[in-house]
Amino acid sequence: MSETTEKITGAAIVTGAGRGIGRAIAVELARHGYHILVDYAGNASAAEETVALCQAEGVDAFAVQADVSDEDAVKGLVKSALERFGRIDVLINNAGITRDNLMLRMSAEDFDLVIEKNLRGAFLMTKYVGKEMLHQRSGRIVNISSVVGVHGNAGQANYAASKAGLIGLTKTTALEYASRGITANAIAPGFIDTDMTKVLPEKVKEAMLQQIPLRQFGRPEDVAKAAAFLASDDARYITGQVLGVDGGMGC
């Protein structure tokens, strides 16, 4: 690590960083000189690949399996980051799942599950990482919401509610933590090409493409660049905002 020490900017936790958008954010932050804790739910080999990609950027990185909706697991995750890095400068709440269905067919269990993983998870992470950031009197929190959290989407009552809830959580975090120099912002991606969207039928994808003014799906890296900006000093005066990365879908 010695030859790279000069470029170290700080330390970051990225939840759900094994794959997709979370991985792209982890690698982008590593490129900006952050040590990275790669959180994941169950896919250890994907998480280790992300760790290797981050390490290739010359920073320290390691993976921890922790379900962000499990309070004890979150406390353990934060402890691991502090033991390894000594501080946490950036928290990216990216972990998320879908359980799509029209409302009349959606079970209450699937509603609760998505709220639990997507919203309770971000709350717990913000609470326990926020405590450290308050002591440090600095920090950046970026929540990965969705265009669906702003506009709604048929078949995604649970997901849309969780992502709208994340926006409320973001704005409240911004207000509660501002006096200690901590910012909290949300990104609302549109349709991004990842495992989450690969499973959608071609017909649905084609219909979605027609709703995107830029007429192309986004890449995980598009979201990662926005997250790295919001985590940087260049965004020091921006808090409580929702940044669309959606090819114009949110216009």
Residues that bind ligand NAP (CB under 6 A): 15-16, 18-22, 39-43, 46, 67-69, 94-97, 117, 121, 144, 146, 189, 191-192, 194-197
CB 216 to ligand NAP: min, Å: 13
CB 158 to ligand NAP: min, Å: 11
Active-site residue 40, yes or no?
no
Nearer Cβ to ligand NAP, position 89 or 100? 100
Strands 10-14 and 34-40: parallel
Alpha-carbon gap, residue 51 to 22, rounded angstroms:
12
Nearer Cβ to ligand NAP, position 46 or 133? 46
Alpha-carbon gap, residue 104 to 170, rounded angstroms:
30
Nearer Cβ to ligand NAP, position 16 or 165? 16
Alpha-carbon gap, residue 250 to 103, rounded angstroms:
23
Alpha-carbon gap, residue 114 to 96, rounded angstroms:
8
| Residue of 227, 239, 244, 240 whose CA lies nearest to 93 | 227
Nearer Cβ to ligand NAP, position 185 or 194? 194
CB 137 to ligand NAP: min, Å: 28
CB 180 to ligand NAP: min, Å: 26
CB 215 to ligand NAP: min, Å: 16
Query: Which of the following is catalytic: 34, 40, 128, 159?
Result: 159
In SS3 terms, 113-141 reads as: HHHHHHHHHHHHHHHHHHHHHHHHCCEEE
Alpha-carbon gap, residue 50 to 64, rounded angstroms:
12
DSSP structure string for 69-130 = T-HHHHHHHHHHHHHHHS---EEEE-------B-GGG--HHHHHHHHIIIIIHHHHHHHHHH
Alpha-carbon gap, residue 53 to 47, rounded angstroms:
10
Strands 90-93 and 139-144: parallel
Nearer Cβ to ligand NAP, position 55 or 136? 55
Q: What positions carry a catalytic annotation?
A: 159
